[in-house]
Structure 1
Amino acid sequence: MRPFRIQSLAAAALLAGACTLAGPAAAPAAPNRAALDYVALGDSYSAGVGAGDYLTEAANCLRSSRAYPALWAAAHASSFSFAACNGAKTGDVLTKQLGALSGRTNLVSITAGGSDASWAKVMGLCALPGTTGCLSAIATARDYVDKTLPANLDRLYSAIRSKAPAARVVVLGYPHFYQLHGSCSRGLEDSERAALNAAIDHLDGMIARHATGHGFAFADARTAFSGHEICSAGPWLRSVEVLDLTESYHPNASGQSLGYLPLFTRAA
């Protein structure tokens, strides 16, 4: 038995029941800046789940003041709408977040697709003893990415462009979860960790192709987080957080400020 797996299963169960989606939060215009209307869309990775210091106006969405969109906006944007929300699938972004966009929007960031691929369910099955169930769940997620996700991404990206025709749109990918042969002494087998990383490669590749196909920029988080995955000496991702399980498998504050923020800054 691997005790870590039981904790991971509980974490994944909470992740699967992610929040009720709320509307975007609008920050006041910053003084003495060129007009730059920035809108942050997407799921938990853009909301900042795992980074702490959550904003009370949208508690269920777990939007963090330490998330890369909030950090970037504080330094650069004259107006900022923080619409990203924990648990958001591409359909949720399409129906609940795009009201923040307009013809005045100059810049959009987004992470979306991971929740569609049911990563919470995958991690729950990978938490169980044995590798067969984990590898089977990963294969099912990859099949979804191949057969269903492309149309979802195209609908979302087309709607973003329609509502914000002049905006630069930056689509950010997801980092690898694990450093292989790293410091973890328990939990998943390295074969499972490798398969999870390969599945993220597959997901990011699909997102990148469709983003660039719509004329959007793609920013690769795998390179930004390289050397700082779970099981590394200085991880920028949370493993299982027993005291706050929802934060498990998300970037911590360093992952947002040292990983995603410089990545987005270069792309923006």
Structure 2
Amino acid sequence: MAAATTAGGTAATSRYVALGDSYASGTGLKDQQDSQCARSLRSYPALLAGAYKSSFKTATCTGATTASIRNRQGGKPPQADSLSADTTLVTLTIGGNDIGFSEIIATCVSRAANDRNGNPCQRHYGDQLRQRIDKLSPRIGTVLKDIKQRSPRAQVVLVGYPSLLPGDGSSCAWESVPFAKRDIPYLDHTVFQLNEMLRQQAAWTGAIYVDTYTPTRGKDMCRPADKRYIEPVMPLGAQSAHPNGMGHLIMSVLVKQRIG
């Protein structure tokens, strides 16, 4: 991707590399630049690159896991191959696919069909999702340490996941968010737990953590179209349960505020 330029038209000396999954690539947004990885010019890294006034490379890819950072993902090289000793900023959003976001959504929707008011998904998973997060924790730490080794001059920024659901199911329409009512707090708490783990790993490895969960409370997929930052599950599409354009804009602002 072409380098961002300053107002005077001169390429900046700072070098920004974006890593991560579909919450970083901008899946479902307009201005897609890579159909295989669903990279959009409206993603939070692309928006941040303009504000940061840096050369910019995005290695983000939909479906990415922690393994994708250091290993090939299909025909794509390891994301970490984009890093260099002169990289000055790295952002990373990762972990959702490791714990099975897509599988969890599909399972919870399926089990809610015959129990709209109960918690069939929570009964199915029990403590499994917490265990998945715990198992993922050291892998996040390993990825962050590897990034720091490859790019020792860089600010390494771990960007958390935004709020996807409200604390209860009272504002969710079944037609667009077909989760059982009592499963919604369970799923919301799972996202909270994932973010808390990410926060801890950032602190332990000296990375910067950006909380996008707290500032986006009340802007979840159950809100009206003009007030939400996350698109609902239905109708199914590339942007289902992903940040929309406003969501990515807010994420870029939160990162910029955090790194100064």
TM range (shorter): 0.7 to 0.9
8 Å CA contact retained: 2:171, 2:223: yes
Q: Deviations over 1:31-76 (max 9, x none)?
A: 3354110000000001011323211xx2110001110110111232
2:229 is aligned with 1:236: yes
1:170 to 137, 157, 160: 157
Amino acid at match of 1:240: V
Q: TM-score, structure 2 length as denominator?
A: 0.86
Task: Name the structure 2 match of 1:224.
Answer: 215
2:88 is aligned with 1:110: no
Task: Compute the displacement of 1:188 (Å).
Answer: 1.7
8 Å CA contact retained: 1:67, 1:256: yes
When the two chains are superposed, the root-mean-square deviation of aligned CA atoms in Å is: 1.7
CA distance in 1, matches of 2:170, 2:47: 30
2:20 is aligned with 1:42: yes
CA distance in 2, matches of 1:132, 1:87: 26
Amino acid at match of 1:92: S
Q: Which has the higher helix share?
A: 1
SS in 2 for 1:189: coil
CA distance in 2, matches of 1:135, 1:209: 28
CA distance in 2, matches of 1:132, 1:184: 17
Matches within 5 A, 1:26-65: 26-30=1-5, 31-32=9-10, 34-55=12-33, 58-65=34-41
The number of residue pairs the alignment matches comes to 238
Unmatched 5+ stretches in structure 2 = 72-77
Task: Compute the displacement of 1:178 (Å).
Answer: 1.2
Q: Deviations over 1:108-146 (max 9, x none)?
A: 100011110001111111002233245433632221111
Once the two structures are overlaid, the 10-residue window that deviates more, 114-123 or 221-230, is 221-230
Q: Deviations over 1:213-259 (max 9, x none)?
A: 110010111122122111123111011353x62321000011101x2
Q: Deviations over 1:169-192 (max 9, x none)?
A: 110111221123453231223311
8 Å CA contact retained: 1:34, 1:78: yes
Matches within 5 A, 1:15-164: 26-30=1-5, 31-32=9-10, 34-55=12-33, 58-95=34-71, 96-128=78-110, 129=113, 130=115, 131-137=119-125, 139-146=127-134, 148-164=135-151
Q: Deviations over 1:175-213 (max 9, x none)?
A: 221123453231223311100010111111111101111
8 Å CA contact retained: 2:163, 2:214: no
Amino acid at match of 2:141: D
Matches within 5 A, 1:206-221: 206-221=197-212
Q: TM-score, structure 1 length as denominator?
A: 0.83
Q: Report sequence identity in percent.
A: 30
Unmatched 5+ stretches in structure 1 = 1-25
Task: Name the structure 2 match of 1:17.
Answer: none
CA 1:114–1:68: 2 relative to 1, 3 Å: same
SS in 2 for 1:27: coil
